[in-house]
């Protein structure tokens, strides 16, 4: 498995994002929240993922951009957890909830915990 985060893996479609926020389920491991929806999409990857940081919580664009970069990197390094355990296709949005900047190590650990929580939930419903 390649540890990349290519264009095909990114959630960019406004239509899909709108549907995700309307019908999606959420899982939270502070300071991250994952909104997910089982949705057939026309990508070759099982997951399309995006990241978001609220302007309300982090006022400066440089801070928001740094947190988004850290979240994308944490996802990229740990997406194999999702890819090896999912049969259906999903769309996912990761949202940063904290008002302060966190370290990469903390974000990566919370990202792993969040993915494991999501997988446990989905295996229960399957």
d(CA 94, CA 108): 12
Strands 25-29 and 32-38 turn out to be: antiparallel
Q: Could you state, in order of their start, the residue ranges of all structural domains in the chain?
A: 7-125
Let me know if domain 7-125 sits in CATH 1.10.150.170: no
pTM of the model: 0.95
Geometric angle at alpha carbon 19, from 92 and 21, rounded to 5°: 60
Q: How confident is the model at residue 119 (pLDDT cuts 50, 70, 90)?
A: very high
Q: State pLDDT tens for residues 72-92.
A: 999 999 999 999 999 899 999
Q: Residue 2: which pLDDT band, with cuts at 50, 70 and 90?
A: confident
Bridge-based pairing of strands 47-53 and 90-96 is parallel
Question: What's the pLDDT tens digit per position in 10-48?
Answer: 999 999 999 999 999 999 999 999 999 999 988 889 999
């Amino acid at each position: 498995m390649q540890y990349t985060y290519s264009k095909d893996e990114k959630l960019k479609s406004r239509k899909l994002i709108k549907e995700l926020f309307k019908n999606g389920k959420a899982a939270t491991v502070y300071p991250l929240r994952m909104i997910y929806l089982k949705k057939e999409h026309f990508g070759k990857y099982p997951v399309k993922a995006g990241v978001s940081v609220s302007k309300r919580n982090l006022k400066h664009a440089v801070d928001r951009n740094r947190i988004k970069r850290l979240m994308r990197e944490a996802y990229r390094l740990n997406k194999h957890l999702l890819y090896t355990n999912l049969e259906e296709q999903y769309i996912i949005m990761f949202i940063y909830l904290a008002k302060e900047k966190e370290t990469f190590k903390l974000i990566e650990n919370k990202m792993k915990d969040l993915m494991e929580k999501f997988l446990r939930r989905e295996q229960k419903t399957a």
